[in-house]
Chains A and B, each alone.
Chain A
Amino acid sequence: MIDFSSIVTAVDCFLESAMPHQLAIVVKCILAAVCALVAYLSFAILMIYMERKVCASFQCRLGPTRVGKWGLLQVFSDVFKMIIKEIIEIKDSDRILYNLAPFLVVMSSIITFSCLPFARGLQVLDFNIGIFFIMAASSFGILGILLAGWSSSNKFSMIGAMRSGGQMISYELSMGLSILTLVVLSGTMQISEITEMQTKGWFIFRGHIPAVIAFIIYLIAGNAETNRAPFDLPEAESELTAGFHTEYSGMGFGFFYVAEFMNMFIIAGIATTIFLGGWAPLYIPGLEGFNHAMCYIPGSIWFIGKTLFIVWVLMWIRWTFPRLRIDQVLVLEWKFLVPIGLINLLIMTICVVMGWTF
Chain B
Amino acid sequence: MNLVMLFAIIIASIVFVAMVMIITKWISPRTFNRQKGETYECGIPTQGSTWIHFKAGYYLFAILFLMFDIEAIFLFPWATIVQELGMKALVGILFFLSFLILGLAYAWRKNALVWK
Contacts and interface: CB of A to CB of B under 8 A. Distances in A.
B39 A33 contact: no
A20 B69 CA distance: 45
B13 A342 contact: no
Contacts, number: 200
B44 interface: no
Interface stretch (A158-166, A207-215, A228-236, A299-307): A158-166
B50 A154 contact: yes
Contacts of B72: 173, 176-177, 180
B114 to A, nearest CB: 8
Q: Is the interface of A mostly helix, strand, loop or mixed?
A: helix
A34 B12 CA distance: 8
Contacts of A155: 41, 46, 50
B78 to A, nearest CB: 8
A107 B14 contact: yes
A99 B50 CA distance: 18
A346 interface: yes
Interface in B17-64: 17-18, 20-21, 23-25, 27-31, 36-42, 46, 50-51, 54-55, 57-58, 61-62, 64
Interface residues of A, number: 79
A189 B8 contact: no
Interface stretch (A57-65, A66-74, A122-130, A219-227): A122-130
A169 B61 contact: yes
Interface residues of B, number: 69
Q: Is the interface of B mostly helix, strand, loop or mixed?
A: helix
Nearest to B113: A334
Nearest to B116: A327
A30 B8 contact: yes
26 contacts: A25-B4, A32-B5, A83-B27, A85-B24, A88-B37, A99-B21, A111-B9, A124-B5, A125-B2, A132-B76, A153-B39, A154-B40, A165-B62, A166-B57, A169-B62, A169-B65, A169-B69, A176-B72, A177-B72, A184-B79, A187-B81, A188-B80, A349-B90, A353-B82, A353-B86, A353-B89
